[in-house]
Structure 1
């Protein structure tokens, strides 16, 4: 296993914690481009915010593409960024500030080929379900019961005992939850395109006018207005009960906040 984080104090602490728990840990690296794939790390514990180089969901996707089972970690990631990491292939999320026992348990789950759903991640999934309407084939009552129990801090073994089923059955449900989360995140009716994200960044985060954004992108102001309209429509679709009279600028600002644009 390998730890990827650009803060040496963090990697040293986590490495010692995992070695004390009996895990074999390769020397940590500060970015995904620093991995020696000849060493064939099968599990990666990756900070979501890596600077410079690939970061956030892109780093997770890169690792998963090399066959790594990835546990994402962060102390600053927003719910959207965490769920983006799940979409890109992370098998779980853990906060850097988690108690040592919880951190080791999360790593152990991923090493064993399972998924890790912290209480916070379970809460993010439930909030995403609340905001984005469930479609046929999405999470059913059984899956939602498990996620709610995990959101309350129960472990998979505790969920299994409470339901009177085998722990393997709970892990199978969790795997289905991850599949559904990834599929829902890839539904383009609710996701911003790269150009729409750029408009959100320029207008919603940086506060540019339509004229300034148009000049920055090399397009006409009408095109910027069209993109802002699409941004608003997708925001309304993702947030049941939101008024379609929401101003496009307000939608762009709220998207920027949800996406954690810094």
Structure 2
């Protein structure tokens, strides 16, 4: 199954470079490009890509505003991965708050970019390894809510999976930690997201920190 992509960056040469990297990977296809946030929103409306890679800093409508507008479009399932040249905590906070499913530095190696696209396409999320856990911890510190009532609906094993998600573990690492198959972990993660009304793993990580599970 082909993953359809939108590239949004105000620099044409950057878009060309990303297109070459992404389309060298079997199963990835760039179906549209945009030079600013407003164009990105219209491109998503017209092409309905699976994943939009959006530069955080663009003239006019910036990437964060574009992310919010893309995710608010009726009938769209497009996931957004934010691209930036800056490792700034405030950018990460705002990107996650806007609903982004990933945050990747433009200086990251190509395989990391491709991994972020695949993760977003399958409904997961990926943060650049250089975006450390202090970011999620800071989100939780800034806005720590009362106990989430939905946690009571989780089974003991699902609560354990949520705790391990909060530690930043991948499915394979969680499987090794609790001695089950990776397929079973995927089932538990899906159940956790569904029961708690969460969009993706990033929101699960944030919630785990907010609720003091990590």
Aligned residues of 1:87 and 1:181 also touching (Cα < 8 A)? no
2:197 — aligned with what? none
CA distance in 1: counterparts of 2:185 and 2:25, whole angstroms:
22
Superposed structure 1 runs of 4+ greater than 6 Å apart: 138-141
Q: CA deviation at 1:46?
A: 0.6
Indicate whether 1:41 and 2:46 are aligned.
no
1:212-241 CA deviation, whole Å, 9 max, x = no partner? xxxxxxxxxxxxxxxxxxxxxxxxxxxxxx
1:127-170 CA deviation, whole Å, 9 max, x = no partner? 3334554631299775343232x2xxx54333333333434134
- What are the equivalent positions in structure 2 for 1:105-254 lying under 5 Å apart? 105-119=115-129, 120=131, 122-130=133-141, 132-133=143-144, 135-137=146-148, 142-148=161-167, 150=168, 155-165=170-180, 166-168=184-186, 169-170=188-189, 175=200, 177-178=202-203, 181=206
Structure with the higher strand share, 1 or 2: 2
CA distance in 1: counterparts of 2:116 and 2:71, whole angstroms:
17
Q: CA deviation at 1:107?
A: 0.4
Of residues 57, 69, 73, the one that matches 1:62 is: 69
Gaps of 5+ in 1: 186-262
Aligned residues of 1:43 and 1:69 also touching (Cα < 8 A)? yes
Aligned residues of 1:42 and 1:69 also touching (Cα < 8 A)? yes
User: Helix, strand or coil for the counterpart of 2:148?
Assistant: coil
Distance 1:124 1:99, change over 3 A: same
Distance 1:172 1:127, change over 3 A: farther
Aligned length: 179
CA RMSD of aligned residues (A): 3.1
- TM-score, length-normalised on structure 2? 0.69
Gaps of 5+ in 2: 152-158, 194-199
CA distance in 2: counterparts of 1:145 and 1:86, whole angstroms:
20
Of residues 9, 12, 26, the one that matches 2:31 is: 26
Aligned residues of 2:125 and 2:202 also touching (Cα < 8 A)? no
Distance 1:167 1:94, change over 3 A: farther
